[in-house]
Structure 1
Amino acid sequence: MKETNPLSRRQWLERMAVPALAGAGTMIGLEAKGTPRKKEKDEVAGTNIYNIRDYGAKGDGTTLDTKAIQNAIDKCFNNNGGTVLIPPGNFLSGTLELKSNVTLHLSAAAKLLGSPKREDYTAGKGVPPGNGNIVFLYAANANNVSIEGNGTIDGNGLAFYNGKGDNTGPGQHGVGGNFDRPHLGIFYQCTRLSLHSVFCTASAYHCFRILGCKQVHIDGVRIYNRVNKNNDGFHFNNNEYVHLVNSDVQCQDDACALFGSNKFVTINNCTFSTRWSVFRFGGGQSQNIAITNCLIYETYGCPIKISAGKANIENLIFSNIIMRNVTGPIGIGFGGTDNNNTPDTQKPFIRNIVFNAIRATVVAKPVDHPDIHFGVSVRPGESNSCITLNAMGAYYLENISFTDVHIQYAGGGTAEQAAKRSIPEVAAEYFGVWETAPAGPPAYGMYARNVKGLTLHNVRFEYDQADARPAVVFDNVQDASINGLSAKGSEGAELLRFINTKDVLLTATRVLTPAAIFVQIEGAASDGIMVEGGDLRKAKTALNCTNGATTSAVVVK
């Protein structure tokens, strides 16, 4: 049927935003510029739409529309909230402050474009300066803040590229770093923050920094952030009740960092790709976090990285995760002290970490992404990577489990790597320990040091190219259960190496390719190791004890 008297998009949005009055039979109309009729003020408070063009925004991509857009936001806020509409067009802007009860709605053909000029940006009022607080969009100490719609927020970040990063990587401490450039969005101490459907791209720095917020809901957000150094996706710091779902992130640096004390967080049904890391934890009290149904691809520098000098981290679950073409698939480093070596008032811990239903392919070394215009060098220790569980000194990782985890490695590890026994006590980054041991990890599948309560159930390690290293190395591991481990061996090395390790039960182990030795026990402290059943036919020798270990430490049934 031919439509008669069609409504414009603006008219439709205005009418749908206003509830019908009971018995009136008609929709309440709206005055221009979102100003309600006086007699209807109470009924429509908080439901008005403020089209930024009505406040003077041009949308031609060259006129600076900052003042017009901010006037619309302020008017909306002063009238008890509503929706600020970004209609079709390219709206050039500097720093904008979002406020309580304001929804920023970007139409499908709308682009909010960051100014290429530094003088058009300011620090966010009330936003602390950590990692810089120059920003494009921000809200501080606000409630009910939303960004929605199928439009685009473009940070114009290539205009700020000068070849320098913020120098906050391992050992750099930010010295000489480039902090004077805008983040795309910062939200500080906000409650009920919602980001929905919007496409965010080309930030000059991090994309979203979400700091000290509560009740955060992010659904269907797309991030493509690969024009500058430190082009992170999401940074969550010290938040509670965060839910990230159905989102896609392609970035250059950390895709989904969870720093500080994040609690009650779920991340579901998302895809990620980045040069450095996806789920990165460090410091604070990260607790009660569930991450499931996620796809990770072309990600280097460790997709799941828990790097903590001093922290209380517990109750993390990673499940139903596919990793394609990654390095260092999982890394946990724990030193128990901070950088200033301050005394412990409460003993730090990392415990109760679950990895379930993981499938991964691990490449030999990182590869440059073709759409990142500057090269990224490969760090020592990133090549021939493995799962690393690395605690030090008097500190232990506790209750770590791997269930239904199958990983295909590139292989190619050397006898020099396999010979490594003295591993430097470094826990800053997953690959940090291997940077100081240039030969690289002594295992191709898993290296674990100082772990209590380690479970491997239905774990499978394979490689494409012959690897001279053991599949698994345990160093000072206590109370471990290995059931249904299947792994490829090396004719020149042991499949499993246990150093000063005690109370381990191995059942139903399968040696997939010829190995010189099934399990080698090293160190006088090794004790209570029991081997029950399994298919060991391809191991030339079942057991070897050396470096002070004796056969009394092992029972083979």
Structure 2
Amino acid sequence: MNHSSNKPLSRRNWLGQVTTASLGTGLLGVSSSSFSPGQIRGNDAGARVYNIRDFGAKGDGRSLDTKALQAAIDACNKDQGGMVLVPAGVFVIGTVEIKSNVTLHIASQGVLLGTADGKQYYANDAIPLHGDSTLEDGNVGLIYAVKAENITIEGNGTIDGQGAQFRSPSKDMPPPAGISGPQRPYHLLFHQCKNLTVRDIFLKDSAFHSIRVIQSAYVKMEGLHIHSRIIHNSDGFHFISSEYVHVSSCDIQTQDDACALFGSCKFVTVSDCSFSTRWSVFRFGGGVAENITVSNCVIYQTYGCPIKLRCGPGSRFENISFSNIIMKDVTGPISIGLASQSRRPQDAGKAPGVVRNISFNNIQATVVLPVPLPDAGFLSSYRPGEMHSCIVLNAMDNVYLENISFNDVKVTFPGGGTAEQAMQEVPKIAGEYFEIGTPPAYGIFARNVRGLSLQGLRLETAAPDLRPAIIFDHVEDAAVNGLSMQGQKEAASLLRFTDSVDVLLTASRVLTPVPVFLQVEGANNRNIRIDGGDLSKADKALGFSNGASEREVIFKG
């Protein structure tokens, strides 16, 4: 594709420039005189090593080694597969295609360095664009594969995308590499691949997303270190409509979404990883996301909502579990949005989205005011809605979030909320978490939720906060047990329920003095029950306003 006046080479022209280098003596002692590429030679077919230096690669950090690397991959693929070896050295490359049955092994002191010459990258038209605009994604990879099987990229070496070369010094100037927007290369780009493994590599400074996987199956990402904070929209993992995906033992530091799941992603596990980013860690958007677990992860220095689900018309998010997660110094920290209508024209006429069976178990979180990431290549600005945040469960109109549960969750919030903020109306927006402005609760704001379970929840603030700990707005069928909350004497109430039905609170604990435990508002509340607990630090158990009736609350002290 051509996205600029500096037209990238087409794949056909590019591969036409690749010359087949002579094969020297490889690691297995096979010389070029004994075979030619594509010829089957004895019992080691499919298991040979192809050292890219034997194909003419210099590895001096200056010479362009794209042709040599591509020639080694082509020879390996034609010979029923094997290992392409990147030995010690710095090998400068442009776009390279990895093919079926090839293992690309980068030695510990080996570096694949993406060239700063934008003309050395090309798009693959077989890879579709995704998103609302071509400014949001592209189809250019430093290393890419299309409809390939049995691919592995491994080793303790490095793939360096030189992302700073693709960032414009100012709006009026092109970046040093000469290409920007969707023409920038991802570290790794895979489309409709099967049996894909990437492990142990250090992926550094991508010009775009680090790993983008589209419509692929049986994918493993293991032991990776991704550090990419040199350009604004540098995602870590970006999975689109992929199935049987497993991410484990990875350490990710990015500027944008650390692990995005878009389209229809199913049968996904993420475990034993650490994440830090300016934006979100787990971001869900569009399609059908189901049967997904995230467990045993550490999230730190994340200033854009660690867990963010945005469900619009025609989409469904179901059977998703987050468990055993530490969040240290984050904003957000959890935001789920469901809208009956979309701001996107292409969603017109679609049925409302569905969000159900989402669980959060054993989560410890410290929420803070956002600050610049210490190792980013530039400073980040923050919107007013990002300065104070809470757990947001937000549906609206005639749609409801269904069966959302929190079990054994402790969150400390920064505090600082005012009495004026406590009375703010939340706009009917299911967009980014900050678009609702400062939420009127410091802990949990839940609107249009049916089937809500809060078990063993503890909410505290590091500084005084005059907002309620929890607000229920049109919540139905809620069971709240073992709730411990910190409030303020100057606040109006600790809890506020508006037009909520069939709510049971048992074994609640008020940790600090408050004037009212529960303020009930509106004429449409029904069957609210309070059973047991320690409310001794509340001056009053109940308050009523805006047409709320005492008959709808059953209190057993």
Q: What is the TM-score with the length of structure 1 in the denominator?
A: 0.90
Residue 151 of structure 1 aligns to which amino acid in structure 2?
G
Q: Do structure 1's residue 523 and structure 2's residue 518 form an aligned pair?
A: no
Deviation at 1:144, TM superposition (A): 0.6
Contact 2:26-2:54 within 8 A present in 1 as well:
no
Write the deviation string for residues 213-247 of structure 1: whole angstroms up to 9, x where unpaired: 00001110110001111011000110000000000
Q: 1:35 to 1:387 in 2, by over 3 A?
A: farther
Deviation at 1:384, TM superposition (A): 1.7
State how far apart, in whole Å, the 2-side matches of 1:534 and 1:38 are: 76
Aligned to 2:248: 245
Deviation at 1:76, TM superposition (A): 0.7
Q: Do structure 1's residue 150 and structure 2's residue 149 form an aligned pair?
A: no
Q: 1:353 to 1:344 in 2, by over 3 A?
A: farther
Aligned to 1:304: 307
Contact 2:25-2:31 within 8 A present in 1 as well:
no
Deviation at 1:419, TM superposition (A): 1.6
**Percent identity among equivalent residues?**
50
Q: Any idea what SS the aligned residue of 2:43 has? A: helix
Contact 2:37-2:79 within 8 A present in 1 as well:
no
State how far apart, in whole Å, the 1-side matches of 2:395 and 2:26 are: 56
Aligned to 2:102: 102
**Equivalent residues in 2 for 1:175-214 (5 A)?**
178-214=181-217
Residue 505 of structure 2 aligns to which amino acid in structure 1?
L
State which of 219, 224, 227 in structure 2 corresponds to 1:224.
227
Write the deviation string for residues 180-232 of structure 1: whole angstroms up to 9, x where unpaired: 31111110000000001011011111111111100001110110001111011
Q: 1:164 to 1:267 in 2, by over 3 A?
A: farther
Aligned to 2:65: 65
State which of 347, 355, 367 in structure 2 corresponds to 1:350.
355
**Equivalent residues in 2 for 1:296-335 (5 A)?**
296-310=299-313, 311-335=315-339
State how far apart, in whole Å, the 1-side matches of 2:354 and 2:110 are: 48
Unaligned runs of 5+ in 1: 1-10, 16-28, 166-176, 435-439
Contact 2:200-2:222 within 8 A present in 1 as well:
yes
Deviation at 1:264, TM superposition (A): 0.1
Deviation at 1:380, TM superposition (A): 2.2
State how far apart, in whole Å, the 1-side matches of 2:360 and 2:258 are: 19
**Equivalent residues in 2 for 1:513-552 (5 A)?**
513-552=512-551
Equivalent residue pairs, number? 517
Q: Any idea what SS the aligned residue of 1:537 has? A: coil
Q: Any idea what SS the aligned residue of 1:531 has? A: strand
Aligned to 1:77: 77
**Equivalent residues in 2 for 1:35-46 (5 A)?**
35=35, 41-46=41-46
Q: 1:478 to 1:34 in 2, by over 3 A?
A: farther
Contact 1:30-1:37 within 8 A present in 2 as well:
no
State how far apart, in whole Å, the 2-side matches of 1:511 and 1:394 are: 34
Aligned to 1:555: 554
Residue 289 of structure 1 aligns to which amino acid in structure 2?
I
State how far apart, in whole Å, the 1-side matches of 2:346 and 2:71 are: 49
State how far apart, in whole Å, the 1-side matches of 2:248 and 2:440 are: 38
State how far apart, in whole Å, the 1-side matches of 2:182 and 2:37 are: 47
Aligned to 1:431: 434
State how far apart, in whole Å, the 2-side matches of 1:72 and 1:225 are: 28
Residue 149 of structure 2 aligns to which amino acid in structure 1?
N
**Equivalent residues in 2 for 1:447-526 (5 A)?**
447-492=445-490, 493-526=492-525
Contact 1:403-1:458 within 8 A present in 2 as well:
yes
Deviation at 1:111, TM superposition (A): 0.2
State how far apart, in whole Å, the 2-side matches of 1:246 and 1:337 are: 38
State which of 369, 373, 379 in structure 2 corresponds to 1:369.
373
Deviation at 1:390, TM superposition (A): 0.3
Contact 1:236-1:258 within 8 A present in 2 as well:
yes
Q: 1:461 to 1:403 in 2, by over 3 A?
A: same
Q: 1:299 to 1:74 in 2, by over 3 A?
A: same
Aligned to 2:134: none
Q: What is the TM-score with the length of structure 2 in the denominator?
A: 0.90
Q: Do structure 1's residue 234 and structure 2's residue 237 form an aligned pair?
A: yes
State how far apart, in whole Å, the 2-side matches of 1:325 and 1:505 are: 32
Residue 517 of structure 1 aligns to which amino acid in structure 2?
V
Contact 2:510-2:534 within 8 A present in 1 as well:
yes
State how far apart, in whole Å, the 2-side matches of 1:368 and 1:32 are: 55
Contact 2:38-2:78 within 8 A present in 1 as well:
no
Deviation at 1:395, TM superposition (A): 0.8
Residue 157 of structure 2 aligns to which amino acid in structure 1?
G
Deviation at 1:134, TM superposition (A): 2.0
Write the deviation string for residues 415-448 of structure 1: whole angstroms up to 9, x where unpaired: 111122x3210001122222xxxxx111000000
Residue 119 of structure 2 aligns to which amino acid in structure 1?
E
Q: 1:280 to 1:33 in 2, by over 3 A?
A: farther
Contact 1:333-1:390 within 8 A present in 2 as well:
yes
Write the deviation string for residues 91-149 of structure 1: whole angstroms up to 9, x where unpaired: 00000000000110000000000000100100135212331112211001100111000
Residue 119 of structure 1 aligns to which amino acid in structure 2?
K
State how far apart, in whole Å, the 2-side matches of 1:287 and 1:65 are: 42
Q: 1:37 to 1:292 in 2, by over 3 A?
A: closer
Contact 2:112-2:158 within 8 A present in 1 as well:
yes
State how far apart, in whole Å, the 2-side matches of 1:251 and 1:543 are: 46
Q: 1:50 to 1:294 in 2, by over 3 A?
A: same
Deviation at 1:178, TM superposition (A): 2.5
Q: 1:442 to 1:347 in 2, by over 3 A?
A: closer
Deviation at 1:346, TM superposition (A): 4.7
Aligned to 2:51: 51
Residue 62 of structure 1 aligns to which amino acid in structure 2?
R
Contact 1:391-1:449 within 8 A present in 2 as well:
yes
State how far apart, in whole Å, the 2-side matches of 1:50 and 1:191 are: 23
State how far apart, in whole Å, the 1-side matches of 2:246 and 2:25 are: 31
Residue 427 of structure 1 aligns to which amino acid in structure 2?
A
Deviation at 1:89, TM superposition (A): 0.1
Residue 462 of structure 1 aligns to which amino acid in structure 2?
E
Q: Any idea what SS the aligned residue of 2:90 has? A: strand
Residue 488 of structure 1 aligns to which amino acid in structure 2?
Q
Deviation at 1:370, TM superposition (A): 2.2
State how far apart, in whole Å, the 1-side matches of 2:347 and 2:302 are: 35
**Equivalent residues in 2 for 1:157-172 (5 A)?**
157-162=163-168
Contact 1:307-1:430 within 8 A present in 2 as well:
no
Aligned to 1:271: 274
State how far apart, in whole Å, the 2-side matches of 1:346 and 1:328 are: 28
State how far apart, in whole Å, the 2-side matches of 1:384 and 1:38 are: 62
State how far apart, in whole Å, the 2-side matches of 1:164 and 1:261 are: 37
State how far apart, in whole Å, the 2-side matches of 1:132 and 1:33 are: 43
Residue 103 of structure 1 aligns to which amino acid in structure 2?
T
State how far apart, in whole Å, the 2-side matches of 1:279 and 1:163 are: 30
Write the deviation string for residues 143-185 of structure 1: whole angstroms up to 9, x where unpaired: 01110000000001111111589xxxxxxxxxxx832311111
Aligned to 2:11: none
Write the deviation string for residues 511-545 of structure 1: whole angstroms up to 9, x where unpaired: 00011100000000111100000100001110011
